[in-house]
Amino acid sequence: MSGARIFVLQLKDLIRTGIFVLVGLLLIVFLVWVMLPKKAASASEVYNPGTYTAQIVLHSKPVNVEVTVSTQEITGVTLTGMEEAQEVFYPLFKPTMSFLSQEVVRAQTTDITIDTESAMTGEILLKAIRAALAQAIK
C-alpha cells in the first residue's frame, strides 16, 4: 500500500470543471464557425444575372455595348443603337464587335488579342465590355 494514493473528489468540483470544458468547446466551435467563409456556393456565382450596358459616343451620338451574363458566365455581347451614319464613319465597329463577342463568350474573359488593323476599335469596344462587366460582378 505504499504506492497507492487515494483522491477525494467533490461533486461540485467535477461539475464546475465539466461546465468550463463545455464552455471552452462551445467557444472554439463558435470561433471556427465565424472564421469560415459565409457562403461556399458564392465562389461559383461570379455575376448578378442580367444584361448590362456601357455607352460609347460615336459621331456625337451614343452607341450601347450590352453584355448579358448568367450567374457563372458571359452569355452574349452585342452592339446596339448604331445608326447608318455611324456605320459609314466607323466601318470596323460591327465586324470587330462580332469577333470580340464570339471570343469573349468562348474564352469567358476580356483578355483577347486584337488584330493590328482594328486595334484601336477593339480597345474601345473592350473597354466598354469591361465597364459593362464591372456592373455585373458580385
What does the pLDDT read at residue 50?
Answer: 94
The greatest distance separating any two alpha carbons of the chain, rounded to the nearest whole angstrom, comes to: 110
Give the sign of the dihedral formed by CA 96, CA 97, CA 98, CA 104: positive
Cell of 10: 467533490
What does the pLDDT read at residue 46?
Answer: 84
Beta strand 74-80 pairing with 61-69: antiparallel
Average pLDDT per run of 10 along the chain, which is 138 residues long?
A: 68 88 94 76 75 92 94 93 90 92 92 87 94 90
What does the pLDDT read at residue 39?
Answer: 56
What does the pLDDT read at residue 106?
Answer: 93
The domain segmentation of the chain, as residue ranges, is 11-40, 50-136
pLDDT in tens, 35-57: 887 655 455 778 999 999 999 99
Q: Of 63, 47, 57, whose CA–CA distance to 133 is shortest?
A: 47
> DSSP 3-state assignment of 26?
helix
Query: Which fold would CATH assign to domain 50-136?
Result: Sufe protein. Chain: A (3.90.1010)
Cell of 83: 445608326
Q: Name the helix (H) or strand (E) containing 79.
A: strand 74-80
